[in-house]
Structure 1
Amino acid sequence: MKIALFPDDYLPCSTLVHAKMFHELALELKRLGHKPVIITPSHCKQAKRLVIDQFDGVEVWRFRNPAMRGQGKLQRVISESLLSVNAYLALKGRKDIKSFDACVNYSPTIFFGPLMRWFKRHCGTYNYLVLRDMFPQWVIDEGLISARSPIAAYFRFFEKVNYNASDSIGLMSPANVKYFSELHPNYRNLQVLRNWADVSPKSFSSSLIDIRKQCQLDDKVIYFYGGNIGHAQDMGNLLRLVETMQVHPEAHFLFIGQGDEFELVEKTKASKGLDNLTLLPSISQEAYKEVLTQVDVGLFSLAKTHKAHNFPGKLLGYMVQSLPILGSVNQGNDVIEFINGEGAGKAYINGEDQSLYEAALMLLQDQYSRKTMGVKAHEVLTTSFSVEAAASQIIDTIEKANQ
């Protein structure tokens, strides 16, 4: 089958987890004998409406679209709103556009919905939606916008278009399927599609970046957070842990990423004198992989007000490198039971600061437990979160529908 994949960001420039996930999915689909094509926005000035190139053996179609991230919230809404329009203008004249059999769309963003509807009507594609976050519900839950505001109605419209254009919707956990059904009871085309990763670990490397040498952390146990530093992650949750751990000089926290709470972390570090925290902006995916070979514990966090039960994609990167996982999330999130039950680390409800601190201290002082939990994390990844399993599930779903 010829399959179009629609991440809203892609390699080699993107540092986002889903960009890496979709590249791994494309490689696996290609290995299975299919023809994947990545269709993604340029995020930069591009003379032509459409530029076709190759990345790591994968065909990539980049359509011209303004940058979305790091431009402010209003500009991001405008840029994302243009995704389907600009993609349509770039693709409509291609003679081979009707050769696609299926589309795999990633959300968020919600704004590929009109394009998916066009593909379905114009090309007869089967559309599979990989739904990782229920936008705009989470920003309403966080109080960032009012449920009755015009902007919420605008987002809801595109959200509905996105769902209606999808033949199947894959959510990351059983709890998320249940929550989605409560919010949108009319949809029955739901299934659990777990996050995925290439399970092959990277050997220790420091050719691109040596974080211990660069930040003078040679003798430290490094607690690492990598990825989106945003409101949904509630970085204040992790900053409280950083502050509490100041009394243990052998522990150091390293945050690398981008997002709308980067400045908050920067200011808190300065105002509270958090010398046990190093904050760095995003780095390339290859450098990020190297950092994962050099650190000791993988951190994660989700805001306590979150209603969706997300399994943060960054956990997969930690698990690939056999890092024990430490963090806290919203109540009811089945990631807590999953991590604790599998012995892959320690997870708590956001706000259980004392328990989180005690677990961090245990991982600092007990090297055996640190290593054992890391090994378990990789075992769980191999059995439950392989890209092979995800690709096979998507293909099976499409093929059964076409029988």
Structure 2
Amino acid sequence: MKILLLCTKFSLNENDPWLTNELAEALQLASHEVTVACLDWSGDSGRQTVELKTGSGVRVIAIPPVMTRSPFPTLNKVLKWTLSSIWGHLTLRRRLRNQAFDLVIGFSPAVTMALPILMLTRKMSEKSLLIQWDFFPYHQQQIGAIPSGILFQAAKLVETLLIRRFDTIGCMSPANVKYVQDHYDLRPTQHVDVLPIWAKGEVLTDIDAEAVRNEYELPSCRPIVVFGGQLAPGRGLNDLLQMAELAEGADSPLYFLIIGSGPLEAAVKAYLVSGHRNLRWIPRVPRPEYLKIIQVCDIALVCTVRNVNVPTFPSKTLDYLRAGLPIVASVEKSTDYGDFLLANAVGISVEAGEPSRLLAAIEALLQDADRLDMMSKEGPGCFIQNFEVTHVARQLLDIASAT
């Protein structure tokens, strides 16, 4: 089968892969011919398009974004999406000329690759599948990233029209499936199904926990609660910092570790500059190094924000499970993520927006050694059963073929 993967994030460093790298490799190793067209959203504007083949044989076309600079951030974003989409369309029309695919796989938000999607779905492919992770523009509106009114309505219209181009939609959980069906005007023939998020199930390297804690200036005896991922709106960073401040004020032995970078780094820096001594921040590191660090922690933290109705299923869960870390989640009411943690005995959850309840949940779990041990043992098996990329790739093809 000839497969085209449309995305806005794909690592050209094979030692630091992202989720799209792992899916493309799994499909290629399953004897399919995979091409990745990446409109590199985080890349530098003005550089040349890069075309290469990975070690597993995946053809990659990495296209730089088009960016403008003006005093108006919203206008800059709209122009980036529009102009980058046009540039991506022109580049792919030239490089994929006279080629056809059996399956085109896209990712939400579809608006980021609008013209390539219009070109490649239905015209150059037999079947198409959208992986629905980001419920644009609903989530962005609810966290204040997009204003309500005309802009939101226009974004919703464009995103819906693009979603309707796909034959099948894959969502991370049953709650996600229902949200798509309730909030987007789908075609009657479109099929929506659960397609879990994924990661490669390599065995983690054995580490010397004491040496790693020393290397990264982490306390040797205090319990460490780790939060890994992008520091961006919607990730519940304020709840985390408020909880850390409460813990320090109560003389709690908890120590907090944040690993990641993003637009909200300033909030973390401000917490540290103000004199707090119970938190360490490590900017984003390559994934192998990240996996090494989180293995020396005691509890993993997942945070979202309250007052949103979009049900999330955070991707950081997968590496936490691989590392055998019990998960404590602070999540919105609408999600079924907390139900998943409980059903699989790998974590617990509280409602987002309540730092004191979150702190109490973490401290109570740390006092239950038997439950902690059980969660730690269940994590790797839960990952393999639900999220290992070769299984998910097979499931993706089954879902796409069913339409």
Same fold (TM over 0.5): yes
Partner of residue 348 from structure 1, selected from 350, 359, 367: 350
1:109 CA displacement: 5.4
| 1:235-275 residue CA offsets vs partner (Å, 9 max, x unmatched) | 1111122122224564211111123322123223433x321
Distance 1:108 1:227, change over 3 A: farther
Query: 2:81, 2:213 → 1: CA distance?
Result: 34
1:259 to 252, 257, 262: 262
Counterpart in the other structure of 1:20: 18
Q: Distance in 2 between matches of 1:121 and 1:398?
A: 14
Which of 330, 333, 336 is 2:335 aligned to?
A: 333
Aligned pairs, number? 394
Aligned partners of 2:141 and 2:147 also within 8 Å: yes
Map 1:4-403; keep pairs closer than 5 Å.
4-12=4-12, 20-42=18-40, 43-44=43-44, 47-54=47-54, 57-66=57-66, 75-94=76-95, 98-108=99-109, 110-149=111-150, 151-187=151-187, 188-205=190-207, 210=212, 212-246=214-248, 247-248=250-251, 250-271=253-274, 273-401=275-403
**Which amino acid in structure 2 is aligned with residue 337 of structure 1?**
D
* CA drift at 1:57: 4.5
**What is the rounded CA distance, in whole Å, between the counterparts of 2:83 and 2:212 in structure 1?**
40
What is the TM-score normalised by the length of structure 2? 0.88
TM-score for both structures, normalised by structure 1: 0.88
Structure 1 residues 204 and 293, CA, compared in 2 at 3 Å: closer, same or farther? farther
Identity percentage over the alignment?
A: 24
Q: CA deviation at 1:347?
A: 0.9
Which 10-residue stretch deviates more, 209-218 or 282-291?
209-218
- In structure 1, the gaps of 5 or more residues are none
Structure 2 distance, partners of 1:283, 1:249, is: 28
Q: For the structure 1 residues 274 and 6, does the alpha-carbon distance in structure 2 shift closer, same or farther, using more than 3 Å as the test?
A: farther
- What letter matches 1:36 in structure 2? V
Does structure 1 conserve the Cα–Cα contact (< 8 Å) formed by 2:199 and 2:388? Answer: yes
| Contact kept? 2:110, 2:163, Cα under 8 Å | no
Asked whether the 8 Å contact 1:2–1:100 carries over to 2, the reply is yes
> 1:98-140: per-residue Cα shift (whole Å, max 9, x none)?
2322111111353223211201244134221001121111122
Q: Partners in 2 of 1:75 and 1:282 — Cα distance?
A: 25
User: What's the offset of the Cα at 1:90?
Assistant: 1.4
1:320 maps to a residue whose letter is R
Structure 2 unmatched runs, 5+: none
The CA distance in 1 between the partners of 2:161 and 2:214, in whole Å, is 47
Paired with 2:398 and 2:222, the residues of 1 have a C-alpha distance of 47
Tell me how far 1:146 sits from its aligned partner. 3.2
Q: Which moved more, 1:188-197 or 1:128-137?
A: 188-197
Note if contact 2:345-2:378 (Cα within 8 Å) is conserved in structure 1: yes
Deviation readout 1:180-202 (Å, 9 max, x if unpaired):
22212444421111111223331
One-letter amino acid of the structure 2 residue matched with residue 265 of structure 1: V
Deviation at 1:72, TM superposition (A): 6.4
Q: 1:51 is paired with a residue of what secondary structure?
A: strand
Shift of 1:81: 2.9
Letter in 1 for 2:52: I
**SS state at 2:94 partner:** coil
